[in-house]
């Protein structure tokens, strides 16, 4: 196969075989994984479930994992990471399912919710992530979701619904109102028909955020459960504190969708993207990924919040500032996450 591909490259030079294949069908490209949207179904006022069938076999995923999704917007390919919301597949050819909440920023999420349609082609990264169910456990599970943080937990619940002997599961689902809760009818049906499943729908617009006394009332045995929590940063910070105070952090798994970045009062510099022969001013508060993309550099990217490490490129010179902590660091050759680092002086990146 390698020799055939090499011959094809010589015959199609200076273009690549993929350049011709995509003219026939974008899904035929071998250089990247692509998929075609099968359906787009509205879930709430600002969220939709998108079913995508990949062009070729995808590694089987585990409930709770995520995939990278690439969309071309205004001539630039943008990537975002979304949790898979369907049950673990029965085979490698089963369609992938993501549930997306619009952010109002005009980016990938908004495009998928408001503009995507059946037949559109998306770029895909393989499933990854360790926010997954324990193997063969009989211990009770406590799932806590805030807003769009329900998506990986939905995958877990749907997977457990297919299992022969699932453990007991209590889902606490917090959203501003019942209308904002994704798959609420399905979850209520599980609660009515599955003895192992309990649902607490918490309307934060009426009752406020869940605090520790509320948790103790909702689930008195919370300390005896293995907890999985996904939602906005304030919720995750609070929950982490409750479990840490109880000395139970080893029984808590957290999935974070957003990273809180600092507002930096400091100096930036000039960013030199050496492989692309582009140079641009880089503000102290602007990620090097954003600087590069604004300069027309094709930056590697994935989750854009410092989790997946897809955006890593080598630092050739200069120092960078971690926008999460304010720490200035960097040595020649050091791998730099461009999505959460900014220039702390003049820098050069090998991209």
Please give the average per-residue pLDDT across 213-232, as a whole number.
Answer: 95
Fold held by 32-124:
Elongation Factor Tu (Ef-tu); domain 3 (2.40.30)
Instruction: Tell whether the model's pLDDT for residue 43 goes beyond 80.
Output: yes
With 60 as the cut, is the pLDDT of residue 117 above it? yes
Please state, in angstroms and as integers, the Cα–Cα distance from residue 15 to each residue in 19, 20, 23, 157, 215, following that order: 6, 8, 12, 46, 60
* Statement: residue 107 has pLDDT above 90: no
Q: Where in the chain is the domain with CATH 3.10.20.30?
A: 269-349
**C-alpha to C-alpha distance for 34 and 26, rounded to whole angstroms:** 8
Q: Please, where in the chain does CATH 2.40.30.10 lie?
A: 32-124
Beta bridge partners, 36, equal 53, 121
- A 10 A CB-CB count for 119 gives 8
Banded pLDDT at 17 (limits 50, 70, 90): very low
Q: Looking at domain 141-256, which of 3.30.565.10, 2.170.120.30, 3.40.50.1100, 3.40.50.80 is its CATH number?
A: 3.40.50.80
Average confidence (pLDDT) over 136-144? 91
CATH 3.40.50.80 boundaries in the chain: 141-256
The 10s digit of each residue's pLDDT in 276-307 is 999 999 998 899 998 998 888 888 876 677 76
Q: What pLDDT band is residue 18 in, cutting at 50, 70 and 90?
A: very low
Q: Which residue has the higher pLDDT, 299 or 153?
A: 153
Rounded-to-integer distance, Cα 284 and Cα 88, Å? 42
Q: What is the pTM of this model?
A: 0.73
Mean pLDDT of the chain: 86
The domain made up of 269-349 is a member of CATH 3.10.20.30: yes
DSSP string for 323-339 = TTT--EE--TT-EEETT
């Amino acid at each position: 196969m390698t020799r055939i591909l090499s011959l094809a490259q010589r015959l199609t030079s200076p273009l690549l075989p993929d350049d011709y294949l995509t003219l026939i069908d974008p899904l035929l490209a071998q250089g990247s994984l692509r998929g075609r949207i099968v359906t787009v179904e509205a879930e709430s006022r600002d969220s939709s479930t998108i079913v995508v069938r990949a062009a070729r076999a995808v590694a089987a995923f585990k409930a709770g994992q995520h995939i990278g999704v690439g969309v071309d917007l205004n001539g630039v390919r943008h990537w975002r990471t979304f949790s898979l919301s369907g049950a673990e597949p029965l085979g490698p050819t089963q369609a992938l399912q993501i549930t997306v909440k619009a952010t109002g920023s005009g980016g990938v999420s908004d495009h998928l919710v408001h503009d995507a349609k059946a037949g559109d082609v998306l770029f895909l990264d393989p499933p990854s992530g360790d926010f997954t169910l324990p193997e063969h456990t009989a211990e009770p599970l406590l799932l806590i979701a805030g807003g769009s943080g329900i998506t990986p937990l939905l995958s877990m619940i749907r997977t457990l619904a297919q299992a022969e002997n699932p453990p007991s599961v209590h889902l606490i689902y917090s959203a501003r109102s019942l209308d904002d809760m994704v798959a609420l009818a399905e979850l209520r049906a599980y609660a009515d028909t599955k003895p192992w499943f309990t649902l607490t729908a918490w309307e934060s617009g009426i009752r406020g955020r869940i605090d520790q006394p509320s948790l103790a009332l909702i689930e008195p045995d919370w300390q005896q459960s293995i907890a999985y929590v996904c939602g906005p940063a304030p919720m995750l910070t609070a929950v982490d504190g409750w479990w840490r105070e109880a000395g139970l952090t080893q029984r808590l798994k957290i999935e974070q969708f957003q990273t809180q970045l600092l507002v930096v009062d400091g100096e930036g510099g000039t960013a030199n993207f050496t492989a692309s022969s582009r140079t641009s001013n880089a503000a102290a508060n602007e990620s090097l990924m954003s600087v590069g993309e604004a300069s027309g550099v094709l930056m590697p990217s994935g989750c854009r919040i410092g989790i997946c490490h897809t955006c890593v490129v080598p630092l050739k010179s200069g120092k960078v500032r971690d926008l999460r902590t304010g720490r200035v660091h960097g040595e020649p050759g050091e791998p730099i996450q461009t999505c959460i680092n900014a220039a702390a002086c003049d820098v050069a990146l090998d991209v």
